């Protein structure tokens, strides 16, 4: 991931002014000075007319946007686009800012909200943690259904302020994050940057907004860490994360508590359990197993100690979308405004899983049948890189609160994924992703 934010903004050094010689005012010097002044002024005029239009001036925005390499934003046409995308088109509809809208879950949720007439504005930094062309394809998909994705980072205070100034969002669906359990050992700071700093930045904007939006955001099943009591219930302990990814998501839950407590923000965390499906994430096992089986490459299948089974409560994307919409629809209003709490506000955490764990080896068998290709299995010990051997969700709380009921088993969901995958990448040996 591109993590090139200067650690100490303002460290850029200005060039030293050239040494100014003392000189006498001869006639020839004056003529030379006049000549070069005219040339210099001419250059300024040319530069002024040729320079591309940039976003409006706003405090602090220049440095942060330069460092984040986002494209320009702002101006009347841009604001009109933002407003139009966020406009509610059905009675009692919501106006939702979806962060991470070019991501896997973000795209599906944004499309579903738009379909039912809610106003939706996307925000995404299009980072290159995985192939950005897949994110661009999702963006094109959303564009066709009328959802505009603003290109920018959740750490960009000026941009976030502008978005809330242009449109008073009733809800924020916060799905932007640095995902992936194993990558946290390679690039730990990207997790801190997105999942902690970015989350705090976003909550600061939300608490200052007037009216404050209700915030629904993606936590993770990984917060259960080394918990051994199954199925995992929201009441179980979550103080033993096995990866930095999990630790940042757990930190998010604590941060959410703070903003709810001090500022009256309505906050709902959703613990997603290994979400899969069409338009999914290429860094996830079901996705790259599919690619590698088709390419005839061997696939590493992890097993726990003493040849124990590694299993996941794989959850199909459509079920997760229903859970997200249920959480949005039952979110109560925040109670504060303009940074001041006016009363107690809602604070919730839900498991969104499938309640039916499947061993990874069985996932591979299903893929073999669907792809009609035998996998080259390479069974290996679960590396010590943050993976946990088992996940299993207890979903009774989400069922009680908003009727959450997953309906897609792994076989059915993978069938839909494989159909999409082959349509998108082809069934053969075409390029990597
Ligand atoms: O629920 C979550 O909150 C998380 O779900 C997902 O994490 P995981 O459940 O770990 O999914 P994923 O990597 O697809 O591995 C699946 C299985 O394959 C096994 N696995 C993996 C890689 C490999 O090479 N071999 C292997 O056997 C591996 O041991 C595991 O048993 C999201 O990525 C994460 O962002 C977060 O959202």
Burial class from Cβ neighbours inside 10 Å (0-12, 13-18, 19+) for residue 344 reads exposed
Does residue 87 form part of some domain? yes
Specify the residue with its C-alpha closest to ligand 1, atom 13: 284
d(CA 149, CA 107): 10
Q: How far is the CA of 227 from the centre of ligand 1 (A)?
A: 17
Atom of ligand 1 at shortest range from CA of 276: 14
- For residue 227, being part of any structural domain is answered with yes
ipTM of the complex: 0.99
pLDDT of residue 337: 85
Ligand 1: residues with CB < 6 A are 179-181, 220-222, 272-274, 284-285, 300-302, 310, 312, 360, 387
- Among 284, 384, 392, which residue has the most ligand 1 atoms within 8 Å of its CB, making it the best to mutate? 284
Going from the Cα of 388 to the center of ligand 1, the distance in angstroms, rounded, reads: 9
**Whole-number Å distance between alpha carbons of 326 and 385:** 34
Q: Name residues whose C-beta falls within 8 Å of residue 159's C-beta, 6 or more positions apart in sequence.
A: 61, 65, 70, 73, 150, 152, 153
**Angle at Cα 186 formed by Cα 184 and Cα 191, nearest 5°?**
35
Give 56's DSSP letter. P
Q: Is residue 158 part of a domain?
A: yes
Query: Is there a domain that residue 40 lies in?
Result: no
CB-facing half-sphere around the CA of 145: CA atoms within 13 A: 20
165 CA → ligand 1 middle, Å: 39
Within-domain flag for 13: no
85 part of a folded domain: yes
DSSP-derived 3-state class of residue 70:
coil
Phi–psi pair at 124, nearest 5 degrees:
-160, 145
Tokens standing for 74?
């702002």
Say how many Å lie between the CA of residue 181 and the centre of ligand 1: 7
The residue with tokens 């069409």 is 278
Residue 427 placed within a domain: no
- Which of 323, 360, 383, 393 has the most ligand 1 atoms within 8 A of CB, as the residue to mutate? 360
> How many structural domains is the chain composed of?
1
Phi/psi for 301 (5° steps) reads -110, 120
Q: 349 φ, ψ to 5°? A: -135, 130
Q: Which residues contact 35 (CB under 8 A, 6 or more apart)?
A: none
What is the distance in A from the centroid of ligand 1 to the CA of 180? 8
Specify the CATH number for the domain of residue 259. 3.40.50.720
Would you state the pLDDT for residue 144?
98
The residue contributing the CA closest to ligand 1 atom 3 is 220
- CA 344, CA 70: separation in Å to the nearest integer? 37
Q: Would residue 399 count as lying in a domain?
A: yes
The alpha carbon of 389 and the centre of ligand 1 are apart by a number of angstroms equal to 10
Q: Is 245 tagged catalytic? A: yes
Contact 121, 145 (CB under 8 A): no
Q: Rounded to the nearest whole angstrom, what is the distance from the C-alpha of residue 363 to the centroid of ligand 1?
A: 12
Beta bridge partners of 232: 393
Is residue 382 within 8 Å of residue 433, measured between CB atoms? Answer: no
CB-based contacts of 239: which residues, under 8 Å, 6+ apart? 225, 250
Q: Say what the pLDDT of residue 385 is.
A: 85
- How is residue 359 annotated by DSSP? E
Over 33-53, what HEC string results? HHHHHHHHHHHHHHHHHHCCC
| Residue 10: φ, ψ to 5° | 95, 5
Nearest CA to ligand 1 atom 9: 274
Indicate which residue's Cα is closest to atom 5 of ligand 1: 274
The CA distance from 290 to 214, in Å, is: 38
Q: What per-residue string of b and e applies to 84-105 under the rule 16 or more CB within 10 Å gives b?
A: ebbbeeeeebbbbbbbbbbbbb
Length of the chain: 433
Q: pLDDT value at position 338? A: 83
Chunked mean pLDDT (size 10), the chain, 433 residues? 31 29 40 53 43 33 41 93 98 98 99 98 98 98 98 98 98 98 96 98 97 98 95 97 97 98 98 98 98 98 94 98 98 92 96 98 98 98 91 98 98 98 85 60
pTM metric for this prediction: 0.85
In this structure, the residue with its CA closest to atom 18 of ligand 1 is 285
Catalytic residue chosen out of the listed positions 129, 148, 245, 263: 245
Q: Which domain holds residue 157?
A: 74-276+316-353+392-407
Pocket probe mutation, ligand 1, options 223, 231, 285, 367, max atoms within 8 Å of Cβ: 285
Measured between its terminal Cα atoms, the distance across the chain in Å is: 15
Q: Please tell me what DSSP assigns to residue 388.
A: -
- Residue 404's nearest CA partner among 346, 347, 355, 332 is 355
């Amino acid at each position: 991931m591109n993590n090139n934010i200067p650690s100490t903004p303002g460290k850029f050094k200005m060039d030293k002014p050239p040494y100014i010689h003392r000189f006498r005012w001869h006639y020839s010097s004056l003529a030379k000075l006049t000549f070069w002044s005219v040339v210099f002024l001419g250059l300024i005029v040319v530069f002024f007319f040729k320079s591309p239009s940039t976003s409006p001036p706003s405090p602090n925005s220049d440095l942060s946007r330069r460092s984040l390499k986002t494209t320009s934003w702002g101006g009347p046409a841009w604001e009109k686009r933002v407003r139009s995308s966020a406009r509610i088109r059905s009675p009692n509809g919501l106006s939702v800012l979806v962060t991470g809208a070019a991501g896997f879950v973000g795209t599906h949720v944004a499309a579903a909200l738009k379909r039912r007439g809610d106003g939706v504005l996307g925000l995404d930094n299009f980072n290159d943690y995985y192939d950005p062309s897949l994110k661009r394809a999702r963006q094109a998909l959303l564009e066709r259904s009328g959802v505009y994705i603003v290109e920018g980072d959740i750490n960009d205070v000026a941009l976030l302020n502008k978005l809330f100034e242009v449109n008073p969002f009733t809800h924020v669906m916060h799905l932007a994050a640095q995902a992936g359990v194993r990558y946290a050992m390679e690039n730990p700071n990207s997790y801190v940057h997105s999942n902690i700093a970015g989350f705090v930045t976003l909550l600061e904007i939300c608490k200052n907004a007037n009216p404050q939006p209700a915030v629904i955001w993606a936590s993770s099943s990984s917060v259960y860490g080394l918990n051994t009591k199954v199925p995992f219930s929201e009441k179980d302990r979550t103080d033993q994360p096995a990866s930095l990814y999990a630790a940042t998501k757990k930190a998010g839950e604590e941060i959410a508590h703070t903003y709810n407590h001090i500022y009256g923000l309505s906050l709902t965390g959703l613990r997603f359990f290994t979400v899969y499906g069409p338009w999914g994430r290429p860094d996830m096992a079901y996705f790259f197993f599919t690619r590698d089986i088709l390419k005839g490459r061997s696939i590493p299948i992890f097993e726990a100690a003493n040849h124990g089974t590694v299993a996941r409560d794989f959850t199909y994307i459509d079920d997760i979308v229903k859970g997200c919409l249920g959480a949005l629809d039952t979110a109560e209003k925040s109670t504060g405004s303009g940074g001041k709490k006016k009363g107690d506000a809602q604070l919730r955490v839900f498991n969104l899983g499938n309640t039916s764990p499947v061993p990874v080896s069985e996932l591979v068998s299903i893929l073999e049948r669907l792809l009609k290709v035998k996998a080259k299995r390479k069974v290996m010990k679960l590396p010590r890189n943050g993976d946990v051997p088992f996940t299993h969700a207890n979903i009774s709380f989400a069922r009680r609160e908003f009727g959450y009921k997953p309906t897609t088993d792994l076989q059915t969901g993978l069938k839909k994924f494989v159909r999409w995958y082959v349509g998108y990448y082809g069934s053969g040996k075409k390029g990597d992703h």
